[in-house]
Amino acid sequence: MEDTSVIAQMGVPDMKLPILYTLAYPQRLHHDGSSLQRLSLKDLTGGLTFKEVDTDKYPCVDLAYRAGRRGGTAPAILSAANEKAVELFLDRKIKFVDIPKILDAVLSRAESEGVILDNPTEIRHIVEADAWGREAAAAAAAAQH
């Protein structure tokens, strides 16, 4: 039974802890927090505001939800495709607005071609999904131009 409460993990934006937790998963390594800035809720100007995401304005959020619902290697494929698409944008090879189109094309192709592994059990499965996502993003970008 769910009690409808919400547990939040909040902090000053810093990737040190997520990386530490990822590398040590499922264990949690000790970290004294001395290198991290402490979040002060009382000092937040304007407080906290939570709103539903406008997926028309932020279509990549919907794609991330889609990959998360699909599970397996879909999030790894989408993440790799995103990194490749951002690289192409920074290299001025695609427009910013092309990024969600490319990601949608990659995720759709992965679903239709059965590339997504439902239960990856080895690191090589993630590495292969990453490589496939990058290659598929490059191909999708080339097909658009």
Provide the CATH number for the domain around residue 135.
Answer: 1.10.1740.10
**Is this model's pTM higher than 0.95 or not?**
no
Asked if residue 97 has pLDDT above 80, the reply is: yes
**By residue range, what is the domain housing residue 101?**
59-144
Whether residue 39 is contained in a domain is answered as no
Residue 105's pLDDT band, with cuts at 50, 70 and 90, is very high
Query: Are residues 124 and 130 in contact, defined by beta-carbon separation less than 8 angstroms?
Result: no
pLDDT score, position 1: 60
Whether residue 14 is contained in a domain is answered as no
pLDDT score, position 19: 86
Q: How many domains does the chain have?
A: 1
Alpha carbon distance 1, 14 (integer Å): 34
Whether residue 11 is contained in a domain is answered as no
Whether residue 7 is contained in a domain is answered as no
Q: Which of 112, 116, 109 is nearest to 139 (CA)?
A: 109
